[in-house]
Structure 1
C-alpha cells in the first residue's frame, strides 16, 4: 500500500492507479468527541488558528482518516462580505444572520482588503500551521491537506438571502450574472491564497439547490460558467461537493473542470460514474446521518464496502460529518476499506 497518504490521494484525484482507494472526508470532520479529546472546541476553533489546526489534525491522528480537512463551516466568505454571523455552539455550526445585498447587486465588488477581513487571516494562518504539521517532517507521514470553502453560488445566497437568490434566478438573470461574476472573483482570490499557504486541494460545497424543485430547469446554465472559471483560475485541484439528488446534473457539472465530484447517498454511484465518465473522479457516499451518526461501526463498514464495490474513486462521507457522530464510526471508514481489500485477496 502507498504509505505516502498525500501522494496516494493526489494520484487518485488525477485518475492514476492506486494500491488502495483513499478513505477520508472532503467535508467537515469536527465532532464533539474529537473536541473533548483535543481541547479544541467550537465555536473557538472556527476563529483560533491553533485550535482550528488541532481539531483538524484529530480527524487524521485520532479518527484515522487519510487526510486533514478544515475548517468546519460555510460562513467565512459571507462574514468577509459583511454578513452578520451567529457563531454557534460546541455542537452547532455557524449560520448567516444578515444579507447586505438583499436589494440588488448595486455596490457589489471584490473588497481590496478581502484577505484581511473577518476570519480569513485566521484560516490562512491555520493553513500554514497545518502544512508544517502534515508535510512529512521529523519522520511523520505526509498527509493531504484539504481546505473547504463555500462556492460562488453559496456566497451569492448568503449575501443576498435565499429568498431573493431563488426569485432572481427566475426573474432577474442580469442580477444573477452580476452576483455570480463577483462571487466567483471572491472565491478565486481566497482559494489561491489558501493554495499559496500550503493547501493541497480545495473542496467547494456549492450548488446544492440545483438538485431541488425550487430552481428553474436552466439554473445550472447560469452557474456553469462560474464553476468553469473557478476551475480554470484556481491554482490547484478543486473538488465540487454537491448535496441532493443531482444525478441529472452530473454530466453537465463534470464538464466544468472539477478534478472530482463528491456526492451524497441519494445518488447512485454506478449512475454517477456513468454520467461523469472519465471527466472527473467520484467521491462518496456513506450516509452521514442514518449510517455514520445513528448506525453502528458494522453499519458503516457494510455501506462503505458497497461504495467500494460500486466503484467509487475515493471513499468518504456523503456530506459533512455530524458533530455527535461516534468516533468508532469515523474509524470504521478506513477499517472498512482495509477489510474490503483483504476480502478480495
Structure 2
C-alpha cells in the first residue's frame, strides 16, 4: 500500500494496514535547516522541489506540502508591502485600512495581477517539480490561508477582530467573500500543477480568538464554498484551526470536510464528536512535546495516541500545528516510526 493509498483510505474510513503519519506544512522548518528563506528556496533552479521531497522523505511524512508562499503577492498587487527576505514573509503595509475599501478592488484584476508575480509563478514551478518527482507515491498538500484568515491579513488580524465585534457585518462578509475568490483561483492553479490535497489553515479562526457562533457564521460557510467549488477537481480537503477547537469538531464534521487538523484537544472526545464523518489529523504539540521531549518520549506519546484512536479509524498522526524551527528531526522520525509499527 502506498502512502497515498493509505491516506485516501484513512479519510474514507476504510480499512488500512495502519494509521498514516504526516506533518502539517513544514516548509519553513525545512528552509531554515538549509539556511534558506522561503523566497530564496523558491529562487533555486527547481524552486526547491528536490530539496523539499528529500527532506519530507527523511522525516517520513506521508503527505508532502508545496505552494505556501504564493499568497503574499496578492498583498502587493492590492498595494501592500511585503518583506520576503526573512525566513517567512513579513507584511510591512496592509492593503486595507478599513474593510469598506474592498469596494475599490476588482477581484478578477487582483487575481490576474497575482498570477503574473514572480514568487507566485515559482510556487507553481515547485508544485509541478514535486509532483514529477514523487508521482503517485504520496499526496501533496498545498494552499495558504483560508478565506477568513486571508481577509484578516488584508486589514491586520487585530483590526479585523475589532470589525468582527463592532463593525458592519456586511463589510466583514464582503471581505471574506473577496478572499474566497482569491483562494479558489490560487488552489485551481495548484491543482493543475499536481496538488491532490487542499490544505487550508485558518489560524485567525482559533477558538482562542473567536466564538463558535462566529465560526459558524463567518468562517465555515466560506471554507465550504471553496471546498464545493473545487470538489470535482480535488475532493480531498483539510482544514486546520489552531487553539481550542473541541467545540467545533461536530460542526466541521457535519459539513463533510475530509480532514480536520486540530491542536491540543482531547482526541478521543473529538473522534466521538466526529462520529466517522471527518478524519482527524494531529495532535502532538510542536512547542511542548516535539521541541522539548526526547525521541523515545515522543515515540511513547505517539504510540499511546495511536492506540487510543485505533478503535475509531479515520486518524492521521501528526503535529498539532506547523513545525517550530526548534523541533529536532529525530523527534519527527520517532513519530513516523511509531506509525509504521502500527
Q: Same fold (TM over 0.5)?
A: yes
> How big is the shift at 1:338?
2.5
Query: CA–CA distance in 2 between the matches of 1:278 and 1:79?
Result: 42
> How big is the shift at 1:107?
1.4
**1:27-72 C-alpha deviation (Å, 9 max, x unpaired):** 3244369733xx7654411554624313321333222222222345
- The answer on 1:52 being equivalent to 2:54 is no
Query: CA–CA distance in 2 between the matches of 1:115 and 1:200?
Result: 20
Residue 330 of structure 1: aligned partner: 332
> How big is the shift at 1:133?
0.2
Asked if the contact 2:206/2:241 (under 8 Å) is kept, the reply is no
Residue 202 of structure 1: aligned partner: 198
> How big is the shift at 1:293?
1.6
Distance verdict in 2 for CA 1:83–1:198, change over 3 Å: same
> How big is the shift at 1:227?
1.5
**Structure 1 gap ranges (5+):** 137-141
Distance verdict in 2 for CA 1:191–1:292, change over 3 Å: same
**1:227-272 C-alpha deviation (Å, 9 max, x unpaired):** 11111012311100110011112222223332110001x2110111
> How big is the shift at 1:80?
5.2
Query: CA–CA distance in 1 between the matches of 2:255 and 2:162?
Result: 25
> How big is the shift at 1:314?
0.7
Residue 251 of structure 1: aligned partner: 250
SS at 1:254's partner residue?
A: helix
> How big is the shift at 1:181?
0.9
**TM value normalised by structure 2:** 0.87
> How big is the shift at 1:164?
2.4
> How big is the shift at 1:84?
2.0
- Taking the TM superposition and a 5 Å limit, the aligned residue runs for 1:96-135 are 96-103=91-98, 104=100, 105-112=102-109, 113=112, 114-117=114-117, 119-135=119-135
Asked if the contact 2:50/2:129 (under 8 Å) is kept, the reply is no
SS at 2:219's partner residue?
A: helix
SS at 1:130's partner residue?
A: helix
Query: CA–CA distance in 2 between the matches of 1:329 and 1:33?
Result: 18
Question: Aligned Cα RMSD in Å?
Answer: 2.3
Residue 240 of structure 2: aligned partner: 241
Asked if the contact 1:33/1:326 (under 8 Å) is kept, the reply is no
Distance verdict in 2 for CA 1:181–1:307, change over 3 Å: same
Asked if the contact 1:242/1:262 (under 8 Å) is kept, the reply is yes
Distance verdict in 2 for CA 1:153–1:300, change over 3 Å: same
Q: Aligned pair count?
A: 327
Distance verdict in 2 for CA 1:78–1:209, change over 3 Å: same
Asked if the contact 1:261/1:282 (under 8 Å) is kept, the reply is yes
- Taking the TM superposition and a 5 Å limit, the aligned residue runs for 1:1-345 are 2=1, 4-31=2-29, 35-36=33-34, 42-46=38-42, 48=44, 50-71=46-67, 75-76=71-72, 77-79=74-76, 81-89=78-86, 92-103=87-98, 104=100, 105-112=102-109, 113=112, 114-117=114-117, 119-135=119-135, 142-171=137-166, 172-212=168-208, 214-216=209-211, 218-220=213-215, 221-234=217-230, 235-236=233-234, 237-264=236-263, 266-311=264-309, 313-339=315-341, 341=342
Residue 139 of structure 1: aligned partner: none
Query: CA–CA distance in 2 between the matches of 1:67 and 1:271?
Result: 25
**TM value normalised by structure 1:** 0.86
SS at 1:308's partner residue?
A: helix
Query: CA–CA distance in 1 between the matches of 2:297 and 2:3?
Result: 25
Distance verdict in 2 for CA 1:310–1:94, change over 3 Å: farther
Query: CA–CA distance in 1 between the matches of 2:159 and 2:260?
Result: 27
Distance verdict in 2 for CA 1:87–1:303, change over 3 Å: farther
**Structure 2 gap ranges (5+):** none
Query: CA–CA distance in 1 between the matches of 2:48 and 2:290?
Result: 23
